[in-house]
Amino acid sequence: MTSTEFKQLKERSKDTKEEIKRLLSLVNANPLSLMTVEEYKHVKTKVQNALRSIRAYKLAENIERCGSRVKVGSEVVRRVCSSLYCRKCREKAVYNYQQRLLKRFQEELKGDKNKLQDRWIYLTVLCAVTNFEVKEVSKAVDEARVVLGKFIRKYKGAWIEGAFEFELVDLDDVAVYDDDSSVKKATLRAMMSGNGTFTGKKILVHYHAVLDIGNRNDTHVREMKKWFNEKYNIHSRQTRLHYTVKYQDVKDKIWKISSYAFKNRLRYNKSFVTSGWKTGKHFRNRDAGRLIKLYDDFMNRRSGSVRSLLIGMGG
């Protein structure tokens, strides 16, 4: 193990065994828990098979042995893989995001549900369609962060909390559908205009975030929508800003937002419908392995953890 790898392992190992257990117990006690034990067993098996199919044996081992102790020199550290395809690490990421939103709600909004409804906007931005290359994905993320920085500087007092997602899309599969996937097909075609033929496996780099607009009104929200539309103007569906569900319990709302930010999908979603993946085709092992490794490679180029995917700007 190199010194760099050792530092990354130590950085990922800050949580004690008791802390990991505490986080998992809180998630498991929640009726909105992400997956059942049986569902996770299925995902675990699929993930291991997928990574071994591309010979990513080290990553497969890191995920499988996440949470176990390992001795490096004279020190004993705990393995933390940070993969969204690991139950402990994904649920920890969701829990931490949930706590940040709850803290904002309680401290900034004073626990006022009406203020939350008036001020919180759910923001989705489709940044770019890239090849299966970590350099291209990283470039798309960096460019998106620059745009977000400009937004925060323009709208003082606004606050954004979210995460980037890398969705695997099969353009050959999307191209044959004309039902509820027609909008997604048109959007992807427009985003790829001039950047190669509409075929093959690509990565849709995008993010979901909560935008607290501060002490602003509907007029400002329309202005913000226009601002994002001008920055991402290839297709109208590239950006979407809307108020959160009005009659939803705050705890449920925050949980759903948090869990949606960190997906571990192993199936295609041919449309923009949230539940569309449930009827989508399963990834082939090799494609699933490449996607899981893409996330890992991206994180290793940055902080070495899920923090690489996070968006946190404003005040």
Res. 306 pLDDT band, cuts 50 70 90: very high
Single-letter code of the amino acid located at 312: G
State the Cα–Cα distance between residues 237 and 289, nearest whole angstrom: 29
What confidence category does residue 16 fall into, taking pLDDT thresholds of 50, 70 and 90? very low
Mean pLDDT of all residues in 44-71: 93
What are the structure tokens assigned to 225, written together? 């929508």
Rounded distance between C-alpha atoms, residue 310 and residue 315, angstroms: 16
The DSSP element (H or E) to which 129 belongs, if any, is strand 120-130
Say if CB 262 and CB 207 are below 8 A apart.
no
Q: What pLDDT sits at residue 50?
A: 97
pLDDT at 25 over 60: no
**pLDDT at position 26:** 45
Domain ranges of the chain: 3-314
Which DSSP letter does residue 106 get? I
**Cα(286)–Cα(275) distance, integer angstroms:** 24
Which pLDDT tens digit goes with each residue over 263-295? 999 999 888 887 778 888 999 999 999 999 999
Which region among 24-33, 43-52, 102-111, 201-210 has the lowest average model confidence (pLDDT)?
24-33
* Per-residue confidence (pLDDT) for residue 203, from 0 to 100: 96
pTM recorded for the entire structure: 0.85
Place of tokens 């139950």: 87
153-174 confidence digits (pLDDT tens):
999 999 999 999 999 999 888 7
Between helices 250-261 and 87-103, what is the axis angle to 10°? Answer: 130
**Plot region of 242 (φ>0 → left; ψ -120 to 50 → alpha; else → beta):** beta
Q: What is the pLDDT of residue 177?
A: 55
Task: Characterize 196-207 residue by residue with b for buried, 16 or more Cβ atoms within 10 angstroms of its Cβ, and e for exposed.
Answer: eebeebbbbbbb
Residue 135 Cα distances to 125, 270, 295, 297, angstroms = 20, 25, 12, 10
How high is the pLDDT of residue 31? 39
> In this predicted model, which residue has the larger pLDDT, 32 or 194?
194
pLDDT value, residue 10: 52
Whether the pLDDT of residue 17 is over 60: the answer is: no
Please report, for residues 37, 229, 273, the alpha-carbon distance to residue 87 in angstroms, rounded to integers and kept in the order given: 10, 36, 25
Tens of pLDDT, residue by residue over 170-208, are 988 876 655 557 888 889 989 988 777 788 899 999 999
Average pLDDT over residues 210-233: 94
Which pLDDT belongs to residue 297? 96
- Tell me the DSSP string of 259-307: HHHS----B---SS-GGGGGGSPBPPHHHHHHHHHHHHHHHHHTTSSGG
Give dist(CA 68, CA 56) in Å, integer. Answer: 19
